Each structure stands twice: as structure tokens, then as C-alpha cells.
Amino acid sequence: MRKKPLLKPSGHAVYDKSCRKFIAFLGVEADRDIAEITHEHLNRFRNEQLKAVAARTVNHDLKHLGMLFRDAKEEGYVIDNPNEFVKRAKIASSASARRPFTIAELKSLLDVATPEWQSLIKFGLYTGQRLADLASLTWSNVDLKRGEIRKRRRLVCPTWGEGF
């Protein structure tokens, strides 16, 4: 991938994951030339993925595949981008799409989780923090004397020249 040097490793991993999902979906057809991939392949991929994952995840995968095909078009590997007119999945309202775990579900998770995961699950339950935020905590975030956990988020804004 020619954009790999331009991406953070975590960003590249996301694009790579989307591509691997699509290749797995294609199965034996994955050995075809990229120019033989059609709009219909991507529609079928979208529909299959919607059976297993959230619409937002499917749309992210389609976005990443669109970038792949856009690059392939720029490089002359394909004439048309088959992802260009693939309709994105409709995203359900957040009220109906997400709900908290029930006590029974939490108990089931804790029963099969390793001690480390049990700690993260309980920490998330009691603090309301996201897993990624909890996993990135260090002792410098913890103030035992005050009974506080401080997590700062860094906001990075681009600048547009000196006068901005």
C-alpha cells in the first residue's frame, strides 16, 4: 500500500482489517484481477457484513475499500471505482442501537473473563469510561490521596499557515 508510510500504524491496521474482511468475503474470487471486482461484489459484501456487524462498521469498511479502489484508479489498475456508487448502510438511531449490559450479561462476561479483563470490565462499569481510555491509563493518571482518576484528552487541530 503506497499510503502506508503516511499513516500511523494504528491507522494502517484499520485499513488493512477492512481489506482483509473483503478478501475473506471474496473467497476464491479474491485471486481475480482487481479490475474484475464489480459494484455487485461490494453490494454483496455490504449486505453480508450487515448480518454480523453494525451499520457504522460496514460503512467504515466501505469507506476504506473506496480509498483502496480510488488509489487503484489513480495508479491505472482499474478504469472505474466499483465502490463509487455503493449505497451506505442506514445507521439506526443511537437510542435503539445501543443499550447497557444487563446484570445477567455482566455476570456472564465476568464468569469467562481473565482476571485482567474482569478488572477492566468492572473499572468501565464503575467509571463509565471507554475500554480504550481505561487500557491507556497509567499511574500518573491516578491520585489515590484525592480518590481521583484524571484522564486528559489531547485535541490536535491543524493549522493553515502563519496568519491563522
Instruction: Name the pTM for this structure.
Output: 0.58
**What pLDDT is recorded for position 151?**
74
- Indicate the domain borders of the chain: 4-94, 100-149
What pLDDT does 32 receive? 87
Q: Name the H helices within the chain.
A: 9-26, 39-50, 55-74, 94-97, 103-112, 115-127, 131-135
**H or E stretch at 142:** strand 142-143
CA dihedral 138, 13, 56, 94 (to 10 degrees): 0
Which pLDDT belongs to residue 96? 53
Q: In the chain, what's the furthest Cα-to-Cα distance?
A: 64
Q: Over its length of 164 residues, how does the chain's per-residue pLDDT go in tens digits?
A: 566 666 677 777 888 888 999 999 999 988 889 899 999 999 999 999 999 888 889 999 999 999 889 888 988 998 999 998 899 988 876 545 567 888 999 999 999 999 999 998 888 888 888 878 888 888 888 888 888 888 765 544 444 444 43
**Fold adopted by 4-94:** DNA polymerase; domain 1 (1.10.150)
**Residues contacting residue 49 through CB under 8 Å, at least 6 positions apart:** 21, 25, 57, 58, 61
pLDDT of residue 142: 84
